Structure 1
Amino acid sequence: MQPKTIGKRSVDLAMTLLLLLLMARQITGETAHEWLGAGMFALWVAHHALNASWHRRLFRGRYTPFRVCQLVVNLLLLLAMVGTMVSGVVLSQTVFAFLPISGGRSWAQPLHILASFWGLVLMALHLGLHWGAILGQVRRQSELPARPAARWVWRLLGLAVAGYGGYAFWYHQLPLYLSAQAHFVFFDAAQPAVGFFLDYLAILGLFVWLAHYGGKGLQALARRKRPPEPAPWEKKRQSR
């Protein structure tokens, strides 16, 4: 694996871990939450720098339904990240306390919750739309044969994670946060920290699963609608 690819995957993994920790503010504490948020911002900048080629190709090539879906998710994720960071700076009492900001908590608190939970969902969708490429890379590096039985085991495992993620999605009341109906985050103090992180990991898995198979459906639809390639002799006839 090339060094740049290793750097990309390392940053992506670090962002995923930080995202889970950021959702656990009641466990990590307010000060750690702010520093983790600052770290997420640094990783987000690094992610864009490492994927600068995507920005350069933005206005090139044909936009298939799958590519349009990727673009929409990326733009919404950008908005969610900006909303999270701006509201986080306004709410900060430690890391950005030196900034001359007064007031603003009345709008920053609900915006921070709304943008944070949409950021969680959109980051999982973003990851899911690239999941096929990630799995292909892992297979090439591991050089393991793609056995049909192993594929079905992984598919069933993914379905189980998505199913539990759906339960955790409702249990932790994410529909309320995603629809801006709650200004405070529900936290079950009786639940062990390990259970909390597993629940949110399953929620991530749910949206990765949805995006992965939804993306495969869009790609299959585009292949069906694409006109068939003309035969070589037809190409010669058209060129005359």
Structure 2
Amino acid sequence: MRDVGKFYLEDGGRKNRMGKRWITDLALTMILLFLIGYSLIGEEIHEWLGLGMLLLMIFHHALNVSWYQNLKKGQYSPYRCVQTALTALLLFTVLGSMFSGLMLSQYVLDFLPLHGGNELARALHLPCAYWGFLFMGLHLGLHWGAVMGMARRIMNLHTASKYRSGILRLLAAVISCYGLYAFFHNGLPDYLLLRSSFVFFSLD
């Protein structure tokens, strides 16, 4: 009985950590979408959301500290190499966005003595933000199987359905195609390559 109780206690702990991870990841995704719409929400709200994202990123990495501990363990398959490189690039762009954001802050953290070099900070903030947006989408795509698994558990779906799978795959394909169209239509390559220093948002 003691072993059974220990098993359920450990299982409950894993579920609790997993729940925290998914809530944190969902919050990060939602905040990122609002942050990208900078011209729609204004600078002060943008800064508050950026600060919230910074705190959530710290919490996210604290929850996933075991990933760092396992970096030197096991063999590196091509998939793991891509995943690790993508995570490193995402971390680099997020740090660049956060640090440059601290330097540019005029509302939330304007008391910090980090206001020198605004031109460099602006030149860093925009490409880091958009590269981070791109890398986060790819990062999410690599973990899409886990996302769908969590969705099935939340919706209490225990049996496979070819009909449901077909609809979801079709929906994913449509969203991906639209995302590719929007990527070029909205000129994101210009922001990624710093060919444009300003973001123009169109509702068309």
Match for 1:124 among 121, 137, 149?
Answer: 137
The aligned counterpart of 1:187 is 201
Taking the aligned partners of 1:184 and 1:53, their CA distance within structure 2 comes to 39
1:66 to 2:62 alignment = no
Task: Label 1:5 to 1:74 Cα distance change in 2 as closer, same or farther (>3 A).
Answer: same
Q: Cα RMSD (Å) of the superposition?
A: 1.4
Cα distance, 1:25 vs structure 2: 1.1
The aligned counterpart of 1:18 is 31
Match for 1:168 among 167, 182, 186?
Answer: 182
Cα distance, 1:56 vs structure 2: 1.1
Taking the aligned partners of 2:153 and 2:190, their CA distance within structure 1 comes to 42
Taking the aligned partners of 1:172 and 1:13, their CA distance within structure 2 comes to 25
Taking the aligned partners of 1:182 and 1:134, their CA distance within structure 2 comes to 34
TM alignment of 1:15-94, pairs within 5 A: 15-94=28-107
Q: Can you give the 5+ residue segments of structure 2 that lack an aligned partner in the other structure?
A: 1-11
Q: Which AA in structure 2 matches 1:70?
A: Q
Cα distance, 1:83 vs structure 2: 0.6
Cα distance, 1:100 vs structure 2: 1.8
Cα distance, 1:139 vs structure 2: 2.6
TM alignment of 1:218-229, pairs within 5 A: none
Cα distance, 1:171 vs structure 2: 1.9
Alpha carbons 2:104, 2:115 under 8 Å: kept? no
Structure with the greater alpha carbon radius of gyration: 1
Where in structure 1 do 4 or more consecutive aligned residues deviate above 4 Å?
none
Task: Label 1:164 to 1:66 Cα distance change in 2 as closer, same or farther (>3 A).
Answer: same
Q: Which AA in structure 1 matches 2:100?
A: S
Alpha carbons 1:173, 1:186 under 8 Å: kept? no
Cα distance, 1:107 vs structure 2: 1.1
Match for 1:148 among 141, 148, 162?
Answer: 162
Q: Which AA in structure 1 matches 2:162?
A: P
Deviations 1:13-60 (A, max 9, x none): 000000001011111110000010000000000100111111111110
Taking the aligned partners of 2:45 and 2:152, their CA distance within structure 1 comes to 37
Taking the aligned partners of 2:22 and 2:153, their CA distance within structure 1 comes to 15
What is the TM-score with the length of structure 2 in the denominator? Answer: 0.89
Q: Which AA in structure 2 matches 1:179?
A: L
Taking the aligned partners of 1:119 and 1:101, their CA distance within structure 2 comes to 22
Q: Which AA in structure 2 matches 1:151?
A: S
What is the TM-score with the length of structure 1 in the denominator? Answer: 0.76
1:157 to 2:171 alignment = yes
